[in-house]
Structures are given as structure tokens and as C-alpha cells.
Chains A and B, each alone.
Chain A
């Protein structure tokens, strides 16, 4: 129980991939123009991270040191390819929305980092919990940055939610008038992430 809560606290706060380790910054900065995009990538990354942690942990005794990295790469690549096909078949609108960033999950350093530093040394249960914790931690940062940019940039939130949840709002919730253009453009991603990091460090002190 205490191990589980320490795994969760580690992934969500103390060792959060997006705020502390600063891993996976490319998708984090690129896709967070809206809450819906962020949520889509968060779900996909969570799925791949849990799957890869679980498989690596199950296979950990079969792997000798010299070849563990190529095996992780193989496993993660096949898992991402399979999920991309799966998303394309069953969630085509989300697949179209995330575009290249779905296959690019394979290059998210968080996934190979968790496989190497945690899943390869822990039993499957703990590895899965670690995958959930880090996946949710990364997803939470995606969502906060996405919400910040969408709100500051367009004055709306949840625009296009019907792509993820059929029947949900398409135009989103209007919370303000016109937004600040900069927030949606690439520099806005850096400013939004910086705000999140400032907030985290300030709470931590």
C-alpha cells in the first residue's frame, strides 16, 4: 500500500515526466493548442506507457544487459504501431487530429526511461502502477498547458470535444472574448509550460 502510494506520488508530482524530468517535451509543446488535442495525446501516451511497462516487467528475467535497450525499442515500437492502427480503425477522428504525434509517441523518452529505470527491475503489478502514475502525470501537464493555451489564445475551452466524446459540445465553452494570438503560436507553448513549472516550484518551496 505504501509502495503504491509512493509510486503514484512519484509519477504525479515528485518525478513528473512533464514538470520535473522534462521528458517528452516535443509532443507536450507541439500538440497542446487545445484541451481536446492534449486529452487525446494523454490517453494514447498513457495506454502505450502502461503496455510497455507491463510487457518489459513480464520479460525482465529473459533479458541480458547488453541487448535490453534494443528489445525495449522493439517492444515499444510494435506497441505504438499497433496502437496507431487501433486508433485509426476505432477512433478515426482522434487519429486524424493527432496526426504524426501518435506514431511519434515511440520517441517519447518517458516510455523508454520508465522501462529502463523502473519496469525492468520491478514485478508487473508495480510496473503497471508506475505506468499509470507517469502516464497520468504527463497527461495532467498536457491538459493544464492545453487548457492554459486554449483559454488565453481563443477564450474558449473544450472546443471540438465531440471528436473525443460523441454528442459532446463542438464549439466549446466561451469564457472570454477574443484571445491572445501568442498563446496558440509555438512561443505560447514555452510560456505556458514555464508558468506551470514556476507554479510547481513555488508550491514545492
Chain B
């Protein structure tokens, strides 16, 4: 008798659990099917918007995102890992390059996209991910402050260009209240990328699609 009752109760519990598992999976599956296209579109739109943001005023028709070029180590770019860049074209002619650079921030790596035009000027910079202090170092994000726009159109004049520093260090960039390591790291990384581009223009230009 007891075993029968136990068996019935176990069976009932199992069936209830299975039933709810099916319902729960169905809810998630239906939501996923109905949102996946929109999520993919959002991600694609965000990716295109990121490229458009770092290209600023440059007019272009194609970005060779499926053909990234890899700069192997050792190089003079920021970080110790290989760096990738993609070529941006208008009517098949190269108009700009977009570098993916990782700078060393105050509390971790700062991943950035840096757009460089063919006259070796900055077309735009955007921070993709970082772990800087919220409210202090995160003014490097475009959504928090327009500080990152101050790079637009800048170029490097020789190895000892003093404008590539914070105003308090004698340069031309505004600082953040309570955070100086973060903006210094970003300025340093952008300047280093621009210097690299200036020295390697032949490499950058000769790469065929």
C-alpha cells in the first residue's frame, strides 16, 4: 500500500515537473523565435553605427569587415597582442582605416575603435568596452560625455607633439574630475596608433581587397 502510494506521488511529481519544464521551454522558445531577428538587426545596426561613428565626416560605400588585416607582434601599437584593422573604401579607393585597439586603463583593458583617414588624421574614436570607474573614468564613453569627440581631425606632428596630452600636462585635452589615468591612457593609445599609421602608410595602402 505504502509503496503504491509513494509510487503514485513520485509519478505525479515527475509528471508535474515535466509539464512545467515543457511550458517553461515553450515560453522561452516562442520568445526567442519572435525576437531573434530583431536582436540580430539591433546588433547589426549597432555595429554599423559604431563604424559610422568612428568614420565621422568620411563618405564611404564599403567597409571590408569580412577581410580584417592583422598586424602581428611585435609592433609599436598599444598592447602586446596582434592588432586588426579594416579598410574603408569609396568607389574602390581607400578613404580610411578602422583600427581595433586595446589600451591599458585604470582598472582593466579599454577596447577602442579608431578611425584614421588617408591623410593620417583621426576621423573618430569610440570606446567599445571598458571597466573604468562609473561616474569618473566612464566619460570616455560617447553616451556619457562628448570628450571622445575632441580627437576628431587631430594629427601627430612628429615624435614630440606636446598637444597629445591633458591640459594639466601641457597638452590640448580636457581632463576628467577625479580621473586622470583613464583619459591619459586613451590619448596615449590614439597617438600611438596615429604614429604607427604615419610610419606604415605604404603597408596600409598596398593591401589589396
- A contact set with B: CB distance below 8 Å: 33-34, 59, 62-64, 66-67, 70-71, 74-75, 77-79, 81-82, 85-86, 88-90, 92, 150, 153-154, 159-160, 163, 178-179, 181, 184-185
Contact = CB atoms under 8 A, between A and B. Distances in A.
B38 A89 contact: yes
Kindly list the 10 A-B residue pairs having the minimum CB-CB distance in the complex, ordered from nearest. Answer: A184-B135, A78-B24, A89-B35, A89-B38, A82-B31, A92-B42, A85-B35, A74-B24, A33-B134, A67-B13
Contacts of A77: 24
Given A86-B35, A181-B178, A184-B134, A78 B28 contact: yes
Sorting the interface of chain B by its residue count into under 10, 10 to 19, 20 to 34 or 35 or more gives 20 to 34
Contacts of B17: 67, 70-71, 74
A160 B142 CA distance: 11
A71 B27 contact: no
A74 B21 contact: yes
A160 B42 CA distance: 20
Consensus secondary structure, chain B interface: helix
Contacts of A63: 16
A200 to B, nearest CB: 26
A78 B135 contact: no
Interface string B1-40: 0000000010011001100110111011001100100110
Contact of A71 (B16, B38, B42): B16
Q: Which label, helix, strand, loop or mixed, suits the secondary structure of the A interface? A: helix
B16 A64 contact: yes
A71 B144 contact: no
A85 B16 contact: no
A73 to B, nearest CB: 10
Contacts of B39: 85, 88-89
Contacts of A82: 27-28, 31
Nearest to A81: B28
A70 B18 CA distance: 11
B20 A153 contact: no
B143 interface: yes
Contacts of A160: 143-144
B46 A92 contact: yes
B133 interface: yes
Contact of B35 (A78, A88, A184): A88
Contact of A154 (B24, B35, B135, B143): B135
B136 interface: yes
B62 to A, nearest CB: 25
B143 A163 contact: yes
